[in-house]
Amino acid sequence: MTLIAVLFATLAAGIGSVWLAAALMRVGWLGGGAAAARGPGEQHLLSLAAGALLATAFMHLLPEALESGAGAKALFGTLLVGLVFFFLLDKAELWHHGHEHHHGHAHAGDHHGHGQENPHDDAAQPRSGGWAVLTGDSVHCFGDGILIASAFVADARLGLVAALAVLAHEVPHHIGDLAVLRQTSGSRRAALVKVSLAGAVTPLGGLIGWWLVDQLHGYLPFFLVVASSSFIYVALADLIPQLQRRLGARETVAQVVWLLVGIALVTSVSALVHTH
């Protein structure tokens, strides 16, 4: 039963997030181009995803690992190593999870400025590196599958919460993927198929993760800490910096509200599943 739950959850997080991203772009809430990634709808999704990731890491995964009886020093050492590891993967462009992808035509600092950027700059410049986007996305989806499986092996409720957090932060990420690949491939359908195939790697990661954790069950608390380090890194090093632009009071309040919505969503789902 655990394996079936893992496969369903990873399918929803991996492929479902791609289709949800495409649907949001199609109905116009986020627009359809690369410039739309800086719109208010995208900002709301980034805030919600950051809140969901942080709540999952600090309120569920880490407490579950600490309650296992493993030494706190060893667990927090694993957390530190995990953060450094994901930083190195990010430097190798295999774990970047922002909705903006840079392939030689821009620097991250240009997009984290204070409202001075031209929203049409990305659209005006040629895109390249579509396969690099898919490679990095596939690696990340595979890792997400392993993390979701680790959570499910520990507790079904924990696995559901982890899958929800992954789904939340995959949506804005896949919006960026679709925007890039639409320009490199010239076709919306081809872009959707390619990103969906990358998302389909998530169940593969879930299957291997389920087998791996089952074989190394004594190390389950450390798997949970590694999952926490992934969520914390993505939220603090990637998503939140994209929200650090100078905004008016109304937009700032909206960001905070959506961040709290992400936290409340994870907490509510956990409580609801626990009740039933």
Please, what are the averages of pLDDT over each run of 10 residues along the chain (276 residues)?
91 92 77 46 85 93 88 94 91 59 39 40 45 79 93 91 91 83 80 90 94 90 93 89 78 89 88 66
How far apart CA 252 and CA 221 sit, in angstroms, is 37
Which residues lie closer than 8 Å to 78 by C-beta, 6 or more apart? 222, 225, 226, 229
* Domain coverage including residue 142: 2-104+124-275
The residue assigned the tokens 């190593």 is 81
pLDDT for 269: 82
User: Which two tokens mark 128?
Assistant: 């390249």
How far apart CA 171 and CA 168 sit, in angstroms, is 6
pLDDT for 41: 73
Look at residue 119 and tell me if it is in a domain.
Answer: no
How far apart CA 53 and CA 236 sit, in angstroms, is 10
pLDDT for 244: 77
Sign of CA dihedral 147, 50, 13, 136: negative
Look at residue 117 and tell me if it is in a domain.
Answer: no
User: Which two tokens mark 87?
Assistant: 């930083």
| Alpha-carbon distances of 149 from 61, 73, 193, 251, 259, rounded to whole Å | 13, 24, 25, 36, 26
What global pTM score does this model have?
0.78
pLDDT for 90: 82
Residue by residue, DSSP assigns 34-90 as: GGGGGSHHHHHHHHHHHHHHHHHIIIIIHHHHHTTT--HHHHHHHHHHHHHHHHHHH
Look at residue 118 and tell me if it is in a domain.
Answer: no
Look at residue 110 and tell me if it is in a domain.
Answer: no
pLDDT for 243: 81
Cα-Cα end-to-end distance for the chain = 17
Look at residue 111 and tell me if it is in a domain.
Answer: no
* Cβ neighbour number for residue 125 with a 10 Å cutoff: 14
Q: Do the beta carbons of residue 95 and residue 242 sit within 8 Å?
A: no
Number of structural domains in the chain: 1
pLDDT for 130: 66
pLDDT for 182: 81
